[in-house]
């Protein structure tokens, strides 16, 4: 089984659909490190993941930049963290990152490179890049047993 | 008539105020941390929390001194409990609880965003209700139907980035100083708002929600080329950057104004209450004023001093809540979310 999956999306709706596929494959504890430059579609992908995790259509999934962490209830609970403004791992620790990880929830960390040392070894690393006006390259990498199983469930994604 | 001490620390401003009767602002002290955060290009939560701890004693003492009141004159303490940075909120809540216990004064828990919603009434008075309220800041872009201080219904919100967040991110793309809002406002005055046709995302004919994420990406691509995220800014001169700032600002303002007018259509109301940090934007104030005048509606924009985060709006709304008996116990906690 390969540890990496690459795909290309051609619109925000496309990116959202990929997110929904990822969300649908999640059934419990998972950590997703979500990285990519401004405007790459991180929020769009997260909206899709939330949908796939069963978060209702009446719930608005928006940027957590201001409050650092947003929480959504679905089939699986989601914590959506934006580490953009964090100066280090202590702050993520202070808002209860460990408890989130241990609560059988999906924890999505945007700008995870700013808090790399606190991200669990076994996580799903998603890297998004601009590849054209509405085109995005998405690279999904597994780094351990748990994330490999999630990636396996995603096979066939194109 | 009640005298309220207001305490606010939801983000990067440490603030205290004394307000009598919900409108008579005797003092409003704000210790800004803008210089502390400038080198990071945004608010850093841990730095914010530490700065709040250092500043609160002095800020509260100054608010009491300036208002010429002693603890005996205070009827209740109102404090922001949500939403915001949890570490920052907790410092204010702890200060308020300590004073409540020590002075034996009732405690009122105030929602920061609802305090913004009601802030135009500090000067406008309760007669501005019913109104459509637009709150635009770094964390929020929301429309509300307000029938009274305790009858507020949200009609729409951002589905991705807040308006102020878009200003900050575009300022980052254009390599402007933090905070981005005032810089873009200043730069836009020298640019042509029609120079670049940036998208106005309306989300359908009925929606009262906002979306500014696509606009941010449109600016990114205009500067760097389609699908590119760097390398373009160096090729632009100052005038071109001013045109981009003006055109971006115009796109944000257009959407905010058009949706507010849509909310007036929907509710049938004649008053608009405008508040939040982005409400300090001169172009937004001017275009909202013109749009209201066109249809015979009245605009009540929060005074500039009450657009940025402040404790006067907390004390003002806290006074209404106190008179309605909305008192909380010392078990009070803070919450990051709305």
Chain B residue with the nearest C-alpha to that of A131: B227
Domain enclosing residue A43, as ranges: 4-153
Query: Given this model, what pLDDT does residue B187 score?
Result: 97
A69: nearest CA partner in chain B: B336
Residue A60 is classified by DSSP as -
Location of structure tokens 């373009």: B232
In chain B, what residues touch A132 (CB-CB under 8 Å)?
226-227
What pLDDT score does B41 carry?
Answer: 66
**C-alpha span between B131 and B112 (Å, rounded):** 19
Element (H, E) at A53: none
CB contact set of A53 (below 8 Å; sequence gap of 6+): A23, A24, A26, A72, A74, A75, A76, A78, A106
Name the band, by pLDDT with cuts 50, 70 and 90, for residue B130. Answer: very high
Q: Give the pLDDT of residue B178.
A: 80
For chain B, what are the domain ranges? 3-118+308-323, 121-301
Share of chain B above pLDDT 90, in %: 83
Separation between Cα atoms, residue B219 and residue B169, nearest integer Å: 10
Residue A81 lies in a domain: yes
d(CA A76, CA A52): 9
- The least confident of A83-87, B26-30, B136-140, B220-224 is A83-87
CA torsion sign, B133 to B134 to B140 to B145? positive
Contacts of B8 (CB under 8 A, 6+ apart): B14, B15, B16, B17, B79, B80, B92, B112, B309, B310, B311, B313, B314
pLDDT at position A158 is 52
Instruction: Round to whole Å and give the CA distance between B84 and B90.
Output: 10
Of A12, A67, A84, the CB nearest to B336: A67
pLDDT band at B96 (very low <50, low <70, confident <90, very high): very high
**3-state SS record for chain B:** CCEEEEEECCCCEEEEEEEECCCEEEEEEEEECHHHHHCCCCCCHHHHHHHHHHHHHHHHHHHHHHCCCCHHHCCEEEEEEECCCHHHHHHHHHHHHHHHHHHCCCEEEEEHHHHHHHCHHHHHCHHHCCEEEEEECCCCEEEEEEEECCEEEEEECECCCCHHHHHHHHHHHCCCCCCHHHHHHHHHCCCCCCCCCCCCCCCCCCCCCECCHHHHHHHHHHHHCCCCCCCCHHHCCHHHHHHHHHHHHHHHHHHHHHHHHHHHHHHCCCEEEEECHHHHCHHHHHHHHHHHHHCCCEEEECCHHHHCCCCHHHHHHHHHHHHCCCCECCCCCCCCCC
Asked if A13 has any chain B CB less than 8 Å from its own CB, the reply is no
pLDDT at B258: 98
CATH superfamily of B121-301: ATPase, nucleotide binding domain (3.30.420.40)
| Residue-level pLDDT at A153 | 84
Confidence of residue B7 (pLDDT cuts 50, 70, 90): very high
| Structural domain total, chain A | 1
pLDDT attached to residue A156:
65
Average pLDDT for residues B110-133, to the nearest whole number?
96
CA angle B124, B27, B21 (to 5 degrees): 50
Contacts of B305 (CB under 8 A, 6+ apart): B28, B312
Asked whether the beta carbons of B95 and B26 are under 8 A apart, the reply is: no
Tokens representing residue A74 in the block: 């679905």
Q: Is the ipTM of this structure higher than 0.90?
A: no
Q: Is A131 on the interface with B (CB under 8 A)?
A: yes
CATH topology of domain B3-118+308-323: Nucleotidyltransferase; domain 5 (3.30.420)
- Residue A157 is predicted with a pLDDT of 61
- pLDDT band at B185, cuts 50/70/90? very high
How close does chain B come to A158, measured CA to CA in Å?
21
- CA-to-CA distance for A49 and B150, rounded, in angstroms? 36
Residue-wise pLDDT tens digits, B265-318: 999 999 999 999 999 999 999 999 999 999 999 999 999 999 999 999 999 999
Write the CB contacts of A44 (distance below 8 Å, at least 6 apart in sequence): A12, A15, A16, A19, B160, B213
- B197-211: average pLDDT: 95
- How far is it, in rounded angstroms, from Cα B19 to Cα B202? 39
- Running along chain A, 158 residues long, what does each successive block of 10 average in pLDDT? 88 96 93 95 96 94 86 94 82 84 94 92 96 94 93 74
Rounded to the nearest angstrom, the minimum Cα separation between B37 and chain A is 10
**Cα-trace Rg, chain A:** 14
pLDDT given for residue B210 in this prediction: 97
Specify the CATH number for the domain of residue A85: 3.40.50.300
Mean pLDDT of B161-170: 94
What residue in A sits closest to B89 (Cα-Cα)? A67
Inside any domain, residue A104: yes
Q: What is the mean pLDDT of residues B20-29?
A: 96
In a domain, A31, yes or no: yes
**What tokens were used for A138?**
């998405």
Q: Please, what's the largest Cα pairwise distance for chain B?
A: 64
pTM for the whole structure:
0.89
Q: Using a CB-CB distance cutoff of 8 angstroms, which residues of chain B are in contact with residue A91?
A: 45-46, 87
CA end-to-end distance (rounded Å), chain A: 16
Q: Say if residue B40's pLDDT is above 80.
A: no
A117 touching chain B per CB within 8 A: no
For residues B318 and B321, what is the distance between their CA atoms, to the nearest angstrom?
A: 5
Residue B338: predicted pLDDT: 59
HSE (CB half, 13 Å, CA atoms) of B296?
3
How many other CB atoms sit within 10 Å of the CB of residue B189?
12
Portion 33-62 of A in contact with B at CB < 8 A: 37-40, 43-44, 60-62
Mean pLDDT of all residues in B29-57:
78
Residue A110 pairs with which residues in a beta bridge? A34, A82
User: What are residue A33's DSSP bridge partners?
Assistant: A109, A125
How much is the pLDDT for A114?
87
Percent of chain B surpassing pLDDT 70: 98
Query: Helix (H, G, I), strand (E, B), or coil: what is residue A139?
Result: strand
Rounded distance, CA A31 to CA A104, Å? 10
DSSP structure class, residue A8: E
Confidence class for position B37, pLDDT limits 50, 70, 90: confident
The arithmetic mean of pLDDT across residues B232-260, rounded, is 97
Distance from CA of B56 to the nearest CA of A (A): 21
Check if B3-118+308-323 and B121-301 are the same fold.
Answer: yes
How many C-beta atoms surround the C-beta of residue B57 within 10 A?
11
């Amino acid at each position: 089984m390969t540890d990496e999956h690459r795909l290309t999306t051609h619109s925000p709706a496309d990116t959202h659909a990929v997110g929904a596929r990822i969300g649908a494959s999640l059934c419990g504890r998972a950590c997703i490190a979500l990285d990519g430059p401004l405007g790459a579609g991180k929020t769009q992908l997260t909206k899709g993941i939330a949908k796939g995790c069963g978060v209702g259509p009446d719930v608005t999934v928006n940027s957590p930049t201001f409050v650092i962490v947003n929480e959504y209830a679905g089939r699986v609970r989601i914590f959506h963290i934006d580490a953009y403004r964090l100066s280090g791992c202590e702050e993520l620790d202070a808002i209860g990152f460990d408890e989130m990880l241990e609560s059988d929830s999906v924890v999505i960390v945007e700008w995870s490179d700013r808090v790399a040392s606190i991200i669990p070894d076994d996580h799903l690393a998603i890297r998004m890049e601009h590849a054209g006006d509405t085109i995005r390259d998405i690279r999904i990498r597994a780094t351990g047993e748990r994330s490999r199983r999630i990636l396996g469930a995603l096979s066939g994604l194109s | 008539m009640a005298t309220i001490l207001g305490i606010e620390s939801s983000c990067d401003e440490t603030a205290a105020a004394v307000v009598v009767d919900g409108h008579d602002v005797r003092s409003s002290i704000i210790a800004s941390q803008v210089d502390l955060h400038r080198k990071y290009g945004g608010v850093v939560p841990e730095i914010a929390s530490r700065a709040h701890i250092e500043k609160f004693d002095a800020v509260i003492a100054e608010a009491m001194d300036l208002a010429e009141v002693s603890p005996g004159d205070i009827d209740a303490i109102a404090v922001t409990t949500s939403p915001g940075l949890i570490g920052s909120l907790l410092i204010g809540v702890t200060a308020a609880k300590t004073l409540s216990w020590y002075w034996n004064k009732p405690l009122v828990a105030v929602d920061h965003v609802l305090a913004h919603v009601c802030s135009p009434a500090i000067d406008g008075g309760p007669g501005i209700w019913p109104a459509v309220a637009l709150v635009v800041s770094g964390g929020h872009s929301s429309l509300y139907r307000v029938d009274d201080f305790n009858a507020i219904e949200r009609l729409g919100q951002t589905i991705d980035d807040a308006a102020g967040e878009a200003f900050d991110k575009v300022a980052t793309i254009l390599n402007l100083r933090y905070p981005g809002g005032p810089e873009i406002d200043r730069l836009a005055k020298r640019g042509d708002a029609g120079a670049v046709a940036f998208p106005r995302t309306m989300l359908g004919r009925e929606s009262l929600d906002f979306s500014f994420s696509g606009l941010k990406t449109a600016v990114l691509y205009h500067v760097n080329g389609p699908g590119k995220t760097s390398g373009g800014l160096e090729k632009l001169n100052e005038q071109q950057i001013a045109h981009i700032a003006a055109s971006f600002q115009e796109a944000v303002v257009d959407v905010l104004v058009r949706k507010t007018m849509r909310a007036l259509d929907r509710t049938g109301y004649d008053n608009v209450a405008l508040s939040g940090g982005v409400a300090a934007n001169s172009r937004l104030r001017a275009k909202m004023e013109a749009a209201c005048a066109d249809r015979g509606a009245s605009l009540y924009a929060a005074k500039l001093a009450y657009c940025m985060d402040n404790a006067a709006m907390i004390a003002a709304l806290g006074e209404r809540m106190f008179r309605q008996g909305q008192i909380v116990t010392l078990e009070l906690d803070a919450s990051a979310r709305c």
